[in-house]
Structure 1
Amino acid sequence: MNDLSFAYLPGVQQEELLWLQELTKNCAPDEKQKFLAVYQGRRKDPQTILICCLIGLIGPAGIHRFIMGQIGMGILYFFTIGLCLVGTIVDAINYHKLAWETNKKAAMESATILGLQ
Structure 2
Amino acid sequence: MERIYKLMPEVEMEEAYYLDNLLKDKTDQQVKDFLMVYRARRRDPQITLLTALIGFLGISGIHRFLLNQIGMGILYLLTMGLCFIGTIVDLVNHRNLTLEYNQKMANNLKLMMR
Provide TM-score, normalisation by structure 1.
0.90
Residue of structure 2 equivalent to 1:8: 9
The number of equivalent residue pairs is 113
Q: Does structure 1 retain, via aligned residues, the 8 Å contact 2:58–2:80?
A: no
Runs of 4+ in 1 over 6 A off after TM superposition: none
Q: Does structure 2 retain, via aligned residues, the 8 Å contact 1:6–1:20?
A: no
Pick which of 13-22 and 82-91 moved more: 13-22
Q: How far, CA to CA, are the matches of 1:8 and 1:94 in structure 2? A: 22
- RMSD, matched Cα: 1.5
Q: Does structure 2 retain, via aligned residues, the 8 Å contact 1:6–1:17?
A: no
Identity %: 43
Q: How far, CA to CA, are the matches of 1:70 and 1:27 in structure 2? A: 30
Provide TM-score, normalisation by structure 2.
0.92
Q: How does 1:24-63 map to 2 (within 5 A)?
A: 24-63=23-62
- Quote how far apart the aligned CAs of 1:7 are: 4.0
SS at match of 2:26: coil
Q: Which runs of 5+ in 1 are unaligned?
A: none
Q: Deviations over 1:78-100 (max 9, x none)?
A: 00100111000000010011011
Q: Which runs of 5+ in 2 are unaligned?
A: none
Q: Which amino acid aligns with 1:20?
A: L
Q: Does structure 1 retain, via aligned residues, the 8 Å contact 2:55–2:81?
A: yes
Q: Deviations over 1:14-73 (max 9, x none)?
A: 111111111111101111111101111110000000000011112300000000011111
